[in-house]
Structure 1
């Protein structure tokens, strides 16, 4: 079970970082700082999240993201900037959660963590592109709050039931891949339709 607990913690943190890196780091850091969870010796690498400086930076960035994420199209620009940052953060969180392991397993874990973060980021960014095409702004805020709730729920599950979290996040990643295919396919179709109408208008 220890292996699946480590994998659950790593996959959970990495996946959630792909949705909201700063909220994930801040809430996990608070939980560690105030001993809301018992940090196992094998996960002591995550202890750095409880450092006051790390909490301060994560908190500031979390507030900025919270505001930017509610504004149509600004959120997509923010997502574009974080296409590298979220997967990189996911790799660091995932490898810290794995703890001390054989280097080859850590390397594999790092690759999986990065892939999980990038996949969740892609699903979030693609969904937001479609939401931003809606004429009313309410759906954008609803989507953002739903993502924040998903992160908080995912962190709770990862902290108290990492084995269950492993299974849940594997399923979520499969769903995320399907979302990416559908959303980016829809965006491409819309773009092609706009291009064709423009060409007909110029003819």
Structure 2
């Protein structure tokens, strides 16, 4: 179950880096639904939640404006996978990696959950950021706010689903991936003519 929760959270991070982090932090702080493992308590700290809320607000606004959304996606190529790694590692109960001996940082398997989560988030991020310019071009930017709102809603729903019903996460993440792949294929310009 922990793996499904972690996979759902990191998938959501590929769409919006800050929503799954906020969901985990808020649920840990104000409910009994989430009990973050030792070493992840900083995620429910008031300062961390405040900073995440401000970053989420910036992300939500920037992602609704055509052209700026593509610049934002380029910047988020680092942030979303990092967020995915963090939520995956916290979801499976991994301890945070302390770099007391830099030469031995990768000597243990503590970094593996971070890498897995980053990979999952990166896949969803690349699908999202690949579709957005095509969508903006095809609709003259009119669809950007609508699609962005749907992505934010999906990230929130997937994050909550990962915590409340992790078994359904696999189905939801697979459906989302298929939807994104089909969307990218439909938006890609068709090549005219045939090779002779």
| TM, length-normalised to structure 2 | 0.79
* RMSD (Å) for aligned C-alpha atoms: 2.6
- Which of residues 115, 120, 125 in structure 1 aligns to 2:124? 120
CA distance in 2, matches of 1:56, 1:25: 12
- Tell me which protein shows more helix as a share of its residues: 1
Asked if the contact 2:89–2:113 (Cα under 8 Å) also holds between the matched residues in 1, the reply is yes
Count of residues in Structure 1 that have an aligned counterpart in Structure 2: 180
CA distance in 2, matches of 1:8, 1:45: 21
- Aligned equivalents of 1:79, 1:50: Cα separation in 2: 26
Kindly indicate whether residue 137 of structure 2 is the aligned counterpart of residue 133 of structure 1: yes
Q: Is 2:170 the partner of 1:166?
A: yes
Give the equivalent residue in structure 2 for 1:94: 88
Match of 1:11 in 2: 7
Find out whether 1:39 has 2:34 as its counterpart.
yes
> C-alpha deviations, 1:178-201, integer Å up to 9, x for none?
3586379x26x68xx9xxxxxxxx
1:99 deviates by 0.8
The residue number in structure 1 matching 2:105 is: none
Distance, in Å, in 2 between the alignment partners of 1:74 and 1:165 is: 31
Does the 8 Å CA contact 1:10/1:98 hold for their aligned counterparts? yes
Mapping 1:170-185, distance limit 5 Å: 170-173=174-177, 175-176=179-180, 178-179=181-182, 182=185
Query: Which ranges of structure 2 fall in alignment gaps of 5 or more residues?
Result: 96-107
3-state SS of the aligned residue for 2:143?
helix
Partners of 1:98 and 1:121 in 2: how far apart? 21
Looking at structure 2, the residues matched to 18 and 64 of structure 1 have their Cα atoms a distance apart, in angstroms, of 16
Alignment partner, residue 16 of structure 2: 20
* Secondary structure in structure 1 of the residue aligned to 2:16: helix
Moved more, 162-171 or 47-56: 162-171
Length-normalised TM-score, structure 1: 0.76
